[in-house]
Chain A
Amino acid sequence: MIGEDEVKKIALLSHLNLEEGESVSLANELNSILGYVDKLQKLDTTSVEPTSHVHGSKNIMRPDVTSPSMPTELALSNTPELSGRFIKVPIIIEQNGEN
């Protein structure tokens, strides 16, 4: 069973805000969905390969060739906030991505 705390954690991971009292109703909805999908636990999946690609295709690759990128102006034509050719966001506190 998912509790309110778990709902809050998932919301944080998903970057979604919960409204007042929403974590309770969401917990109920999620539990109803998860309750339903729990029937999969009955299934004997010993030595069953998981399917990621239904038609089993493999080695789909392209040669290392460049083609012209989009003009920057067009590429950034939907960007809410720009600074020159840069995309602008509120300042990032710490200098770290994940790499």
Chain B
Amino acid sequence: MTDVTSLSIAEINSGLVSKSFSSRELTQAYLERIEKLKSLNCYIEVCGESALKAADECDQMIKSGRRLPLLGVPIAIKDVITTKGIRTTCASKMLKDFIPPYDATAIIKMRENGGFVLGKTNMDEFAMGSSTENSFFGASRNPWDTARVPGGSSGGSAVAVAAALAPASLGSDTGGSVRQPASYCNVVGLKPTYGRISRYGLIAYASSLDQIGIFSRTVADCALLAQSLFGHDPLDSTSVEMAIPDLSKEIKRGIKGLKIGIPKEYLIEGVSKEVLQSVQDALSTLTQLGAEIVDISLPHTEYALACYYILALAEASSNLARYDGIRYGYRSPQARDLKQLYSLSRSEGFGKEVKRRIMVGTYALSAGYYDAYYKRAQQARTLIAQDFRSAFSEQCDVIACPTAPTTAFRIGEQSSDPVQMYLNDIFTVPVNLAGLPGISIPCGFDSQGLPVGLQLIGKPWDEGTLLRAANAYESSTDWHKRFPEV
């Protein structure tokens, strides 16, 4: 028997139905491997007992002939998504003992489709970071080189899939937090259109940019999960009622005549030559598959990072005001009066990067600065979204570029300079600003053996085309079949 932990969801489905193995055996195999590879530090909490119980229930259902897209599949969940009765920490001391009394809508939908929670994965505290180093529970490690970061903020979820510690996982993407670690870890990472997956139960970093995303080994698995999780939720006013195509069918259509736009503004300094080469090769492959490459321009790209950081940090300062040690969360035992209760609980409960971002965000919203920062950033956002709109309406169907300027960097290498750190997100943030779907897929390795990701960006609500292009590429390459030696 092949190792069940190396199977895709599609393979798991047929294995379970043909009784080659049970969901319990699959779950058990994952639990053992997780235990063995603890040093990657990608799980904050492993839900062994509840996962095995859920697996048994799934096995019963399979026996009785039930068929569901995710039936019997254990899934790893970034610890920013609330799970009823399962500790949800956001990798913060602030929520280190928080047990949500409710499930996120995405979790409910996952369960309805037969999936269950394998464990909660490590991340940058409150999803603030690009390396999964800023975690109260310690940094996660990249399975391709354990001295390097897996990217972030959903680093744990990326590692779980890359190192075969889960068949798939959920993350969240505010400025690239799914796509960038997917690229660093050689897995598929999808950030859907803003409003596609309910944010109810996704602990907010920046509400107007946050979106739950999917990590998987293959594009087909990604489509399967997307189909299960997409849809309007009456509990999230920003989720949108939009038709959802049959994605598993959609991805199989070829890409003949598909127009792929290459933004000239993305050829900036600081992008590694090897990354560029891999992306160039990928474009050639896509051309051979029938796609047409067109040059496009996104003239406001240079403002994207500045715009993103103001919006994200301002919203974060507001979203994190609720952590005051009163109703839930960390409460400083030192506090003698109410003022101290606030300031000590927050100062002791939040990590350094979180505090820094709250401070910047508070400043950007404070009296006298709102127009210069927040409002101006919202205007820049309009211009950036317009750039994409005109490119998509006149020139191309999808846009291609590197997911990140470099491959994975060393732990500790970049955390000293916040601005330098933020530059990692240069190719991913414009997508969040414009609310578009984006996907990172494996497209090669650099000379050090580190994975490179190709980012494809689609029109709003057009995940179908995006996944179709990704699937066409994946079908003619085998980068995604490479596993790290851990």
Instruction: Say if the two chains contact directly (CB < 8 Å).
Output: yes
Q: Please indicate the chain B residues that have their CB under 8 angstroms from the CB of A33 in the complex.
A: 309, 360, 418-419
Question: Which residues on the B side are within 8 Å of A53 (C-beta)?
Answer: 208, 238
Inter-subunit contact B101/A77 (CB<8 Å)? yes
Among candidates B234, B329, B366, B381, residue contacting A78 with C-beta atoms closer than 8 Å: B329
Q: Are B336 and A90 touching (Cβ within 8 A)?
A: yes
If A57-B240, A78-B99 touch, whether A16 touches B306 (CB-CB below 8 Å) is no
Residue of A with least CB distance to B372: A41
Report how far A57 CA is from B237 CA in the complex, Å: 9
Pairwise interchain contact A89-B341, C-beta atoms closer than 8 A: yes
Q: How far is the CB of B184 from chain A (nearest CB, A)?
A: 24
Q: B329: nearest residue on chain A (CB-CB)?
A: A78
Contact B379 A48 (CB under 8 A): yes
Chain B at the A interface: SS class: helix
Instruction: Tell me whether B379 and A49 are in contact (CB under 8 A).
Output: yes
Flag A37-53 by CB within 8 Å of B: 1 or 0 each.
11111010100111111
- Chain A's interface size range is 35 or more
Find A32's partner among B302, B331, B418 (CB 8 Å cutoff): B418
Chain B residues within 8 Å of A89, by CB: 326, 338, 341
Any chain A CB within 8 A of the CB of B282? no
- With a cutoff of 8 Å between Cβ atoms, the chain A residues found around residue B375 in the complex are 50
- A78:B418 contact, CB within 8 angstroms: no
Contacting residues of chain B (368-398) with chain A, CB-CB under 8 angstroms: 372-373, 375-383, 385
On chain B, the residues within 8 Å of A62 by CB distance are 234
Which residue of B101, B335, B358, B385 is within 8 Å of A14 (Cβ)? B358
Q: Which chain B residues border A1 with CB–CB below 8 Å?
A: none
| Chain B min CB distance to A56 (Å) | 10
Evaluate contact between A17 and B359: CB separation under 8 angstroms: no
Among B101, B237, B306, point to the contact of A70 (Cβ < 8 A).
B101
Bound CA–CA A71/B27 (angstroms): 33
Answer yes or no: A55 CB below 8 A from chain B CBs.
yes
Q: Which residues of A contact B (CB under 8 A)?
A: 2, 6-7, 10-11, 13-17, 26, 29-30, 32-34, 36-41, 43, 45, 48-55, 57, 60, 62, 70, 74-81, 87, 89-93
